[in-house]
Amino acid sequence: MKLSGLNLHLTRQNKQIMTSPPINERDFASIINQHSRIINKVSYFYATDKLPFDDLRQEIHVNLWLGLKQFRGDSKISTWIYRVAVNSALMALRSSRSRIETVSLDFGMLDISSEIDDAQRENLQTLYALINRLEDIEKAIILLWLDEYSYDEIADTLGLKRNTVATKIHRIKDKLSKQI
């Protein structure tokens, strides 16, 4: 099935579920394009050798399409997309957990601005490598925090309590600083 430039190869089960799309393909493609940075970032950080970036991104696109009927507008669409993306990644990882042997991240594909110098680029790549070693939920929390989401927004996105988010961010910072 082709959705305005997005080639999604859906399973037979998903094709049956998708009989009445909540919006047209052009509007869906627009939403995907506007929020591609979120989708790509989550896909990069949760991709593995056994769960490649493109497969994970496709899974997120499918889940966004299927979940649009449930989006009530109680939060920003970007928050909802982040939540769907992270939950999709976590579910995909759980279903392939026994097959996962290593974690791989291609730093060449990350959106690292050409305006930063080599030292900053190297520091950023080191940070990404350290984040990639975190547990799945820790990755989700720190990525949202780095994108300047508030504790309340992170808690809402991940279904956690605000105090839990604050505690986890503090512990993640400590963990990362000890690894540097």
* Residue 109, domain member (yes or no): no
Residue range of the domain that includes 121? 114-180
Domain count, the chain: 2
Looking at residue 3, its pLDDT comes to 40
The CA-based angle 174-109-30, given to 5 degrees, is 100
Using a cut of 0.85, tell me whether the model's pTM lies above it. Answer: no
Q: Is the pLDDT of residue 19 over 50?
A: no
Residue ending a domain, choose from 104, 137, 161: 104
27 and 100 share a domain? yes
Q: How far apart are the first and last CA of the chain?
A: 45
User: What percentage of the chain exceeds 90 in pLDDT?
Assistant: 25
The H or E element spanning position 162 is: helix 162-179
158 and 88 share a domain? no
Instruction: Match 């999604």 to its residue by tokens.
Output: 8
Q: Is the dihedral of CA 84, 89, 90, 94 positive or negative?
A: positive
Q: Which residue has the higher pLDDT, 146 or 17?
A: 146
